[in-house]
């Protein structure tokens, strides 16, 4: 079976401050760089990775570059793996962004949260559409026994896992928060002649490879 690894980016200052990042050009902080380095060392030793695809935003670019110092292939950047675009909410604290705007918080219990679109931003369904385009491209690229690493963000990981598990987006987003540089491992049967490939999710939100979080 083929293997697809999803790696969330390393920590940023905005992560620590609980600010909405969206598409903002936010770099990793020093802890995030250490996380990316540890992830790269683990991935290079545990898997024979054939190719790396990364979101083109700054924090994922930096994560992929630092992880790659351990001998991983050079990344190819794909905007389909970007975080959800939050438009005018970008840069606000979570409380400022969602406290008075529960329609943009998919876990709020408000109706139609997956369709709500912030000004100059995306709805969650918009994000889902492009992430699934990215997933289709990964399935086309990975060989029957190949391994691809995708460096991305929490939002796209939740969107893809919800699709693969057949559960709704609010339920998925209400799960435990994806940690920075958490690894998610998906095994894929790519040789089926028709229909969706068989998938098995064998690791989710895993940071056990590093000594401390």
Active-site residue, 9 included: yes
Q: What is the DSSP letter of 12?
A: B
Alpha-carbon gap, residue 207 to 211, rounded angstroms: 9
Q: What is the sign, positive or negative, of the torsion defined by CA atoms of 209, 38, 54, 138?
A: negative
Alpha-carbon gap, residue 158 to 186, rounded angstroms: 13
- Annotated active-site residue in 9, 42, 62, 122: 9
Helical residues (DSSP H) of 29-76, grouped into ranges = 30-46, 58-68
Cβ atoms 152, 167 nearer than 8 A: no
- Annotated active-site residue in 11, 62, 83, 122: 83
Active-site residue, 96 included: no
- Where in the sequence numbering do the catalytic residues fall? 9, 83
């Amino acid at each position: 079976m083929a293997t697809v690894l999803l790696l969330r980016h390393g920590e940023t200052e905005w992560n620590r401050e609980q600010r909405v990042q969206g598409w903002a050009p936010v770099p990793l902080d020093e802890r995030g760089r250490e996380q990316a380095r540890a992830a790269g060392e683990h991935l290079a030793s545990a898997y024979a990775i054939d190719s790396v695809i990364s979101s083109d935003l700054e924090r994922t670019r930096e994560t992929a570059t630092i992880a790659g110092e351990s001998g991983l292939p050079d990344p190819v950047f794909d905007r389909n793996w970007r975080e959800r675009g939050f438009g005018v909410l970008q840069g606000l604290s979570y409380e400022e962004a969602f406290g008075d705007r529960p329609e943009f918080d998919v876990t709020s219990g408000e109706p139609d949260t997956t369709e709500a679109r912030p000004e100059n931003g995306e709805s969650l369904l918009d994000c889902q559409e492009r992430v699934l385009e990215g997933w289709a491209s990964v399935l086309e690229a990975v060989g029957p026994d190949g391994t691809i690493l995708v460096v991305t963000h929490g939002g796209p990981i939740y969107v893809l896992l919800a699709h693969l598990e057949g559960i709704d987006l609010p339920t998925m987003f209400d799960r435990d928060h994806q940690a920075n540089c958490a690894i998610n491992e998906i095994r894929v049967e790519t040789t089926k002649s028709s229909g969706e490939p068989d998938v098995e999710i064998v690791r989710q939100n895993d940071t056990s490879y590093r000594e401390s979080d």
